[in-house]
Chain A
């Protein structure tokens, strides 16, 4: 059985563990994430609206996967690690279904699995896992004997980061949501450019979320907690990386029209103003119209700024 799971979702740790789980429990399921290139014209979905580029890209990937699979898994991500995702993720399965129902041909009949993902603790993980497996493999599927794959240990992540930074004497903090930093299309090739210039890169995803969450909690005020997981990731990473890693520069990568990042940007700029040591910071806003040359120019200028500061 071929099952589609859009590649954009793989940036979430929980989805990667889900993938691992499905591999182990149901070897007959062949997961595919990237639509095979076809010669057929791939029309832009009817309904994607003014949403941010990552969301549009995700809807487009889902739509392109549909005709190539037997089932499509697009979980309704409401909450992960106890914090909310942005409202777009709540509507994601509905928008995919809306577009699917209006497709010509047999793809209209492909079932969509839109299990509700509302996870705060390990108990929730087991519950959601079972719901999803039953939706995928049939309602009689027995609860698996082995537990759901756990996240990598904090020590493991720290060691991996140390490995990654070995050989670099300067680092740049690349702060952004997991899908922005991880997807080569959305990050506009920034990690590769920075690496080629001799910079090691630290991202929020190099740390355990619970560490970032704790750092982000410093800005919470009673009921006024930053309730989006992605925002806590970025806020926490800013505080954590600036305190622990002394980066030579900070780049905040966000997508145009992202409502969450728009507010995080304000808070990060405010935090940056209050930093004791003046680390240069640059905000890069990307969307589907962004051109590589523009990004390269900005990065080069930014690295010059860093050099100016570090050499004088």
Chain B
């Protein structure tokens, strides 16, 4: 196995956030903590491929990075950790908190809206004390906006400006995506302008978020808004209007989870297993799942293959597979 010939390497900490919709990566300089590179790309239902693309980008960078420690986060964090060979796996609530605390140490409220997740994290005295996450419904998330943008024939990136241009936002139901869609079509049919409909969508998304995800949580300034949806200025303004607090959006808002994971990796002490991310570029990896019927738990067990050989199991509650001695 040969690595590229290296004279001087740049030591870095790596954070990877594999979400259901997008995969994010942030690379921090080990000495200064400065962001050296970041990536935001679609997972497109194939996390292995998206992680491979990230690794490719790292390998091709002329700065010759040496990964001292890497951490993974997001709903695909376990798979990602197995692929790059790290034991630093952190849930996305904690990594988002780490990111916000690094950028804005005085933050008290973190709003995070991503592809299918939305959360609120309450921070007091530099410590997360409470959080909430959407449970069953995607009404207040990025996927919802994506879908509706498609239906309206506009780009999701344009929605922010369109919403800001509206004088009288249309009233749109916020409980569920299906009803919101019905309302939207109805408003279109009766001739409401597109800007007003988009503004109405933003309003209903924020209203839904505050009523369900942020319900019962005390929102105090400074408020930091992270996640892909923070790109939408219409939503930012709507949050400011409905909460009565200024809402800050920092650079790297879209990759905040990966940023937090990189910080987590930087803070880790002790020996780390060697970074194996570049293996992905040389060998073939795949994953599948099966339902174990050994007991009524009926776990969906996940299985990772390297070139047709199973190298790892996880997600079994009893440990029958994951704990079994490796052959």
Is the A/B pair a real complex? Answer: yes
Q: B186 an interface residue at 8 Å Cβ cutoff?
A: yes
Binary per-residue interface labels of chain B (175-207) against chain A in the complex, 1 for a CB within 8 Å, 0 otherwise: 100010011001000000000000000000000
Q: Distance in Å from the Cβ of A255 to the closest Cβ of chain B?
A: 13
Among B39-47, B68-76, B211-219, B272-280, which stretch is in contact with chain A?
Answer: B211-219
Residues of chain A contacted by B183 (CB below 8 angstroms): 291, 293
Provide a sorted-by-A list of 17 A–B residue pairs whose CB atoms are within 8 angstroms. Answer: A41-B244, A43-B244, A44-B210, A44-B211, A47-B216, A48-B216, A49-B215, A287-B175, A288-B211, A289-B173, A289-B175, A290-B173, A291-B171, A291-B173, A293-B183, A293-B186, A294-B173
Q: A50 an interface residue at 8 Å Cβ cutoff?
A: yes
Tally A-B pairs: CB < 8 A: 28
Q: Distance in Å from the Cβ of B110 to the closest Cβ of chain A?
A: 18
Q: Distance in Å from the Cβ of B200 to the closest Cβ of chain A?
A: 12
Using a CB–CB cutoff of 8 Å, the interface residues on chain B facing chain A are 171, 173-175, 179, 182-183, 186, 210-211, 215-216, 218, 244
Contact (Cβ within 8 A) A46 B218: yes
- Identify whether the interface residues of B are mostly helix, strand, loop, or mixed: loop
If A44-B210, A44-B211, A294-B182 touch, whether A289 touches B174 (CB-CB below 8 Å) is yes
How many residues on chain A are close to B (CB under 8 Å)? 15
Q: A46-B216, A48-B216 are in contact. List 8 more A-B contacts (CB 8 A).
A: A41-B244, A43-B244, A48-B215, A288-B211, A289-B174, A289-B175, A290-B173, A291-B183
Residues of chain B contacted by A47 (CB below 8 angstroms): 216
Residues of chain A contacted by B182 (CB below 8 angstroms): 294
Contact (Cβ within 8 A) B244 A294: no
Residues of chain A contacted by B175 (CB below 8 angstroms): 287, 289
- Contact check: which of A43, A49, A291 meets B216 at CB < 8 Å? A49
Q: Distance in Å from the Cβ of A48 to the closest Cβ of chain B?
A: 8
Interface residues of A in 35-75 (CB under 8 A from B): 41, 43-44, 46-50
Q: In the bound complex, how far is the Cα of B244 from the Cα of A288, in angstroms?
A: 22
Q: Distance in Å from the Cβ of A137 to the closest Cβ of chain B?
A: 36
Q: In the bound complex, how far is the Cα of B173 from the Cα of A288, in angstroms?
A: 9
Q: In the bound complex, how far is the Cα of B174 from the Cα of A258, in angstroms?
A: 19
Q: In the bound complex, how far is the Cα of B132 from the Cα of A49, in angstroms?
A: 13
Q: Distance in Å from the Cβ of A219 to the closest Cβ of chain B?
A: 33
Q: Distance in Å from the Cβ of A104 to the closest Cβ of chain B?
A: 12
* 8 closest cross-chain pairs (CB), A and B: A289-B175, A291-B173, A289-B173, A289-B174, A47-B216, A41-B244, A293-B186, A291-B183
